[in-house]
Amino acid sequence: MPGFFERLEARAGVVDSLLCVGLDPHPDDLPESSAAAAREFCLRLIEATHPFAAAFKPNSAFFEIYGAAGIEALAAVIAAVPQGIPVVLDAKRGDIGSTSAAYARAAFDTLGANAITVNPYLGQDAVQPFLDDPGKGVFLLCRTSNPGAGDLQDLMTGGAPLYMEVARLAERWNTKSNLGLVVGATYPAELAELRGAHPELWFLAPGIGAQGADLKAALSAGLRSDGMGLLVPVSRGISRAADPATAARGFRDELNDARRQPQALQAGLDPARARLADDLLRLGCVQFGEFTLKSGAASPIYLDLRRLAGDPVVLARAARAYLALLHPLVFDRVAGLPYAALPIAAAICLQGGWPLVYPRKEVKDYGTKSAVEGPYIDGETVVVVDDLITTGGSKFEAIDKLKAAGLNVTDVAVLVDRGSGAAALAERGLHLHSVFMLHTLLDYWRARDAITQEQYAAALAFLEQV
């Protein structure tokens, strides 16, 4: 039997839609406050919108208020969804193991839902009962769309916000490929961060419509590279429309327009990198004026990424940007280059769970006299992490020390590429991965009027000479 997300993708493909129609029978929208009225309200919505729906999402709370009659109405609504259209029960369950097992039976066996939203706060044993059947899906609350979400979800843990840790745990718990995340479309920067770190997971992204999220920004931030992976629920924007069928079609078409033009939205930067670019300028990590570089050249722009260490939140944000570069690579350890990249590399390792080593600039003539600090095994592969790259020359001495110690090096990751380092690395068989190209940052800052035209032109002219 195909898994839940296989069936969801199949349905999305058949109707060319990522729209999830919310079935939220608010009492204020009903002719009378009763289970029967709630049922009829939802049945009309299903009949009108099912040609455009990838899935339906009934909200359990608006049925539970009517007691046993409400539960019967909810079961009838789920049963009325046409065959082949997945139903996600919005119930946000999660309790100790035996209670969660009962909740899972209620949702999947009694009510007939195909998936459910689950609260991860009690940990894996509370989530596991919902995951036991690979044919049933779970959307784990991660970064929710409500205004107060940050009260807990933004708390830092292990160098990263709690929502990033929830997503990391979700990857570990997803042994049957039936676990996705709830990530609010109202927070496109966080949505982009999570997509970068978890490129394959499905996200349920509430917030479009009545909550006011920017649909294009959400699609740009959250879509997978294949144009899938993001299920977008809309409730009141459809149910309160004069013609729900027309409204559903409109949302479906608007979603598809954005899906087919993702690159147009990323001509500058995606929301997560845009926020980090703003931080770099705000913290003085990039400065404009007259500077003398190490080479002796006069430069109108100076990058001082050591300043990242002075702001733990931005340092963690920068580390998450590196994670998107590192996750596809195969390596055993991270090798941070002294000195600017050491705090960055430590932040990366705290979030990614990798061990850290670093080559010394000066080898001591006492103690262990090690050229490479930190435990490692001969023959392991390390990925080199540095703050920026100009010509690549400064990297080779450090890489040679790593290789002399018996470590393999094939990849180098930097936050900012000034534009001329990749070729030099390639000549040594090394692959460069960068979060930003400096000229892209300059384009972005100028488009936002964050730098003057004179600063922009002088910096670009200097880069062309390097």
Locate 227 and state its tokens: 């144009």
Beta carbons within 8 Å of 98's beta carbon, 6+ residues apart = none
Catalytic choice (92, 294, 369, 403): 92
Locate 261 and state its tokens: 């033009």
Locate 54 and state its tokens: 């990838």
Contacts 24+ apart (CB under 8 A), 308-312: 308/283, 308/343, 308/344, 308/387, 309/343, 309/344, 310/283, 311/279, 311/283, 312/156, 312/159
Q: CB-hemisphere CA count at 13 Å for 280?
A: 27
Catalytic residue flag (residue 92)? yes
Residue 400 Cα distances to 32, 362, 428, angstroms = 77, 14, 11
Are 131 and 3 a contacting pair, CB within 8 Å? no
- Alpha carbon distance 56, 84 (integer Å): 11
DSSP-H helix ranges across 283-431: 312-326, 341-352, 393-404, 422-427
Locate 443 and state its tokens: 């384009």
- Please, what's the b/e burial string for 376-393 (b: 16 or more CB within 10 A of its CB; e: otherwise)? beeeeebbbbbbbbbebe
User: What are phi and psi for residue 35, nearest 5 degrees?
Assistant: -60, -40
List the catalytic residues.
92
